Amino acid sequence: MKKILLITVITTLFILKTKAQEMRGALGVHPLNNMISWRSNINKKHFWDYKFEYQAGSVSGVPFVNLSPQVNICWRRQNNEFVKFYWGIGLGLETFVPRLAIPLGIEFFPLEKAPQLSIGAEASPILISIGTGFTTTIKGDFAIRYYFTKKKKND
């Protein structure tokens, strides 16, 4: 099971990297939440943020993989070359249960020699539908992203 999961993760990362170069977005790694993400652009006022949280393990010897996808539409309030502050709204699944998220985040571009590399922090109040009611939580996140940008042609 671990081999299958590893092959799946490697294949997914390869496909995302290949497509990222065509689509000019960002591939993100979220080490605290076992998550990978795709962000649609680096400088526009609004962007799409796709997140895939994953867990793998076994219960009573039966292996499982749990994927929790989430799609956010976000707006950048502060948008310059060094820092970007954003907020948004998103929908996702928490173990097949619908959830609503309101991400609030900040993204820094600390390296002058690598302007495509960013470090970000985010807090998302989350509303999860349970039966006939709801429960709320706040999810914190940390991400490292690499933006694939167009290569400049040398004359």
Contact 50, 67 (CB under 8 A): no
Whole-number Å distance between alpha carbons of 30 and 22 = 23
What does the domain layout of the chain look like in residue ranges?
A: 2-147
Burial class (CB in 10 A: 0-12, 13-18, 19+), 76: buried
Prediction pTM value: 0.75
Spell out the CATH class of 2-147: mainly beta
Q: What values do phi and psi take at 99, rounded to 5?
A: -140, 150
**One pLDDT digit (tens) per residue for the chain, 155 residues:** 556 556 666 666 666 555 555 567 898 999 888 899 999 988 889 999 999 988 877 778 888 777 889 999 999 998 888 999 999 999 998 777 889 999 999 999 988 888 889 999 999 999 988 878 888 999 999 999 999 876 655 54
Per-residue H/E/C for 47-94 = EEEEEEEEEEEEECCEEEEEEEEEEEEEEEEEECCCEEEEEEEEEEEE
